[in-house]
Amino acid sequence: MLTKILLGVAVALVAFIGFIATRPSTFKIERSTTVSAPAHVVYALVADFHKVGTWSPFMKPDPTRRDTYAGTPATVGHSVAWASSEKASEGKMTIVSLNPPEQLQLELDFIKPFKATNATVFRFEQAGNGTTVTWVMTGQNGFMNKAFSVFMDMDKLVGADFEAGLATLKNLSEAEAKAAAAQAAANAAPNGAVAGDTAK
């Protein structure tokens, strides 16, 4: 009886492993939002890794997190390496190509909790008086990722973080654009008068 049970378990395990092997070998996660701000304003918040933590859920600080920056912001080679014992996370993000303020390509090297290298692209396209920002991540699905995808919808899980990050990026960009417009109007007003003031 025990032999039959063990044989059944072995057959089920082999079948499950075979099913995992049929899962897609690559993945792509993509989300977009439209921002009421010029492309250069949004681009600046993405291309400077010192600022990415203000909007990206993946770069939120925690008490054990340590970030190490290198290179000049918004240039090829600019990078940030992170390590967090609280989240058991470690990796590095690097700008590998750019076409400001239209596109930015990054390489993500994960060390913990698993090893992987993914490509991320941000596209900034004019949309009327604003900008449509598209965040795309692609990579290879190893065995563990394939197994995980059997139980969890990776697009839905990671996509939710993309959506949250883009929403915060939108708010920050629009606030910066509004502040810049107000400052420009104040500077252009005669004798330093604030726009909207009436002459006496």
Query: What is the structure's pLDDT at 26?
Result: 80
pLDDT reported for residue 3: 78
Alpha carbons 195 and 134: distance in angstroms, whole number: 35
Mean pLDDT, the chain cut into blocks of 10 residues (200 residues total)? 68 59 77 97 98 92 90 98 87 97 97 90 96 95 64 81 98 96 86 52
What is the structure's pLDDT at 154?
A: 79
Q: Categorise residue 59: left if φ over 0, alpha if ψ from -120 to 50, beta otherwise.
A: alpha
Domain ranges of the chain: 23-182
Model pLDDT, residue 10: 64
Check residue 146 and give its pLDDT. Answer: 61
pLDDT of 141:
74
Q: What are phi and psi of 38, to 5 degrees?
A: -65, 155
The closest of 27, 37, 92 to 59, measured between CA atoms, is: 92
**In CATH, 23-182 is 3.30.530.20:** yes
